[in-house]
A and B are shown apart, each in its own frame.
Chain A
Amino acid sequence: MEKINTLTAEQEIFLKDFYQKNLNVGRSIVPIDHEKAENVITNLYKHIGLNKPNFHYFRSAFELIKKHPEVKLDNYFGGQQWVYWKAFYTFCETIGVKYEKENSELLSLWMTEAENLHWWFPYENDCIIIERPIKLSVNEGGFLHCENDKAIEYSDGWGMYYLNGVKVNEYLVMTPSEYLDINVFLTETNADVKAEFVRKYGVERMAHLGKMVDSYDKYPKKTHSWWHKSQYELWDLSVLFPGLVYQPYVKMLNQTTGIWHMEAVSPACQDLQTAIKERFGGREMKIINIA
């Protein structure tokens, strides 16, 4: 078989439609058609020589765990959420890649599985099916995101909060920016969650709780070009820490996302030079690229 290196114009157009169709499958919140779901699973069971199982439905994985804590959840299929690999191989077949007849039929079965199921947990005589979420919200980049509610929610009320693809807690999403407690930022340990806090709280508002100690613009652009691009600044936020006379934070701009980060350095850092050196584990190094 000859390798396909380019797509025709028609195939390019088809690919866009095919991609969108399967993205919609992955994000579908249309309730599961139980008859279709049971048919496809029964066929998959038959494929490995097992009989049709007994089906049990739950509104969410959380409901399943709550009602049956004894059930082991490490053996499951993702249905629509794993459509990516099924779509990949199906697209290849569509543009002319030949599979063995048995494999082609099995792939078709898995595509049907993706189109008709969310998560499901197979056992020898039983099969647990989780209903689809009732809500799924994404940002322009396609990442789970909702600024005033859960980004993904199931019909029993269980769900998760996300901001720009970062899993966060309910507090960060549901609390209006003006009421956010800075102590939540101070005690958060995850860099991405902290960045989302800064984005919502407002970096200028946050920095100006304290006072600026050092800034990138005091250093030559020629020798510190990435300090300038990242707009490194050192801010004393000791006002947030009763009992501390000096607590510096480095303020910096993420070069990919354009969002701000504020990360603490030790009180030994009196300027950006020592702060950056400390962040590098005590190494004196020149930055030549950042992403």
Chain B
Amino acid sequence: MKINKNEVILHGECMVFLSKLPSDAKKMSINNNFVIVAPSETTGNHHVVDVHPGVDFFEGINGTLYMQNSVDTVIRCVIESRHTEIVLPAGNTYEFGSQMEYDPFAARLQKVRD
């Protein structure tokens, strides 16, 4: 699967799309073999991306996560029952975001939570 500009992969509420690495983004030091790209506040079933040699993560000043990968990796859930894994092809700079939903009572948009 190839991904182009203005295309998006949806993994639950998590959005993955091509981006440019901001000059002020800082490379993250990763101690695990995965990075949580969309945390689950209540169930612990986080959306994570597997980290191998060739997969680097960066954090923008507003907390946005970016990834550059010279090898394929996957986005998956800790517990795979809710969402199957999707391959993120090598050779790209990805940005991770959250889909939005509207709260009719507060009349405001907020990130989808799970």
Chain A residues within 8 Å of B84, by CB: 255-256, 291
A280 touches B99 (CB 8 A): yes
B6 touches A289 (CB 8 A): no
Chain A residues within 8 Å of B99, by CB: 279-281
- Measured CB to CB, the closest approach of chain A to B108, in angstroms, equals 9
23 A–B pairs (Cβ distance < 8 Å), ordered by A: A165-B43, A191-B12, A191-B101, A192-B82, A254-B82, A256-B81, A256-B83, A257-B82, A263-B101, A264-B102, A264-B104, A265-B102, A278-B100, A278-B102, A280-B8, A280-B15, A285-B8, A286-B7, A286-B8, A287-B10, A288-B3, A288-B8, A291-B12
Chain B residues within 8 Å of A106, by CB: none
Chain B residues within 8 Å of A257, by CB: 81-82
Classify chain B: how many residues form its interface, as a range. 35 or more
Query: What 1/0 flags go to B80-114 for Cβ under 8 Å of A?
Result: 01111110000000000101111111010100111
The chain A residues found within 8 Å of chain B, CB to CB, are 141, 143, 164-167, 186-187, 189-193, 226, 241, 244, 247, 254-257, 263-266, 278-281, 283-291
Among A143, A191, A278, A288, which residue has its beta carbon within 8 angstroms of that of B114?
A: A191
The chain B residues found within 8 Å of chain A, CB to CB, are 1, 3, 6-13, 15, 17, 41-43, 45, 79, 81-86, 97, 99-105, 107, 109, 112-114
B85 touches A291 (CB 8 A): yes
Instruction: State in angstroms the CA–CA spacing of A281 and B14 once bound together.
Output: 12
